[in-house]
Amino acid sequence: MIGKINISVTIYISMLLTISCGQKKVDVNEPAPISITDEGHELQFERFEEELFGSTLPMDTSRVRYLREKYGDFFELWCIQLAGVLPGTKGRPSDAAIAGNLNQYLSDKYMKEVFEDAEKKFKDIRWLQEELQPVFQRYSRAFPDKKIPVIMTYLSPFTSNIMAMDTLLGIGLHFYLGSDYKYYPSLQLPLYMIKKMRQEYIINDMIKGWLDSEYMDDSSQNNCLSQMIYQGKVLYATDVLSPDIPDTIKTGYSEIQLQWALSHEEEIWSFFIEQQLLYNTNPKTYLKYIHDGNSTSGFPKEAPARLGAFIGWKMVRAYMKKHEGITLQQLFEMKDAQKILSESGYKPLKSNS
């Protein structure tokens, strides 16, 4: 089964003075990471982009058969949906059809250049292996019944950054070549997305992509509160699975934006209450407080996006602090967002700014 595919100022002088001169707010509910030992499942890595672009072997029918056998459903998905080698294909394409189109794709000057640039930056991915290993050791402890995925790197400019299916978690390296990468402006993506197209976001995006593929359920996340709580669960999971990821990367905020959200937490929460947003079931109304963007509707220009997710994160942290016997897996399996809110005792402190 194919999982969810993820791709994702002007500051007032007074606020700058408050942040630079005052102390940063600390969350008393910040959790400790899940403990691990040196023993654990050894992650398997596959370099799909090197298999294709780095090979000198001809792309004929025998080569296609080999790739189909080695990579299974991922190869078909990549050809049809991710890379668009056979766009709009219905049914199972023939080896000959794939070979012909794939030869053209791999010989394209633009594609070769993107591969060369990705190779320069990501030829050595030992850092990724070293950082992901403890993440999935913690994941294995937190979700003992879940499978550990094979990690796949790939290129498919520029359709997806994360791909999850069954026991495979793919990372599209083309989306992490640096926010100043020469081809990104031509994609006409918003600035807030391009700013995060950096190596520092890879681990964070992989954790979110994998959890989304396992637990995102549109049928149970049908109002603003349930969306807030779900996004809060993912942020909390990142807290305990990969404690070295800074909060700025988890949230996608700059340091100033993060401190703004922390300093105005009470006002943000009051806004959701006063606007009667928590139980709103109209996605057009509430998703603008959940989805990424340049800012959040209804708030000052300096306020970051995803303030609903930010408050959901604080709720979940408060809930887990009060229920230390609840495991991460149990948290994700809880579908009652109202129960989490009610039993969290969540109440933001008054702002000092």
Kindly report, residue by residue over 34-88, the tens digit of the pLDDT: 998 776 778 999 999 999 999 888 899 999 999 999 999 999 999 988 998 988 7
How much is the pTM?
0.90
Question: Over the Cα atoms of the chain, what is R_g?
Answer: 22
Contacts 24+ apart (CB under 8 A), 17-23: 18/263, 18/353, 19/256, 19/259, 19/260, 19/263, 22/352, 22/353
Q: What is the pLDDT along the chain (353 residues), one digit of tens a residue?
A: 334 333 332 222 233 333 333 445 568 899 999 998 776 778 999 999 999 999 888 899 999 999 999 999 999 999 988 998 988 778 888 999 999 999 999 999 999 999 999 999 999 999 999 999 999 999 999 999 999 999 999 999 888 899 999 899 999 999 999 999 999 999 999 999 999 999 999 999 999 999 999 999 866 678 999 999 999 999 999 999 999 999 999 999 999 999 999 999 999 999 999 999 999 999 999 999 999 998 888 899 899 999 999 999 999 999 999 999 999 999 999 999 999 999 999 999 766 54
Q: What is the pLDDT of residue 157?
A: 82
Kindly report, residue by residue over 3-41, the tens digit of the pLDDT: 433 333 222 223 333 333 344 556 889 999 999 877 677
Q: Please tell me the number of Cα atoms within 13 Å of 307 on its side-chain side.
A: 32
Q: What is the DSSP letter of 145?
A: T
Token look-up 């030829």 returns: 123
- Look up residue 162 and give its two tokens: 């994360």
- Indicate the average pLDDT of the chain: 89
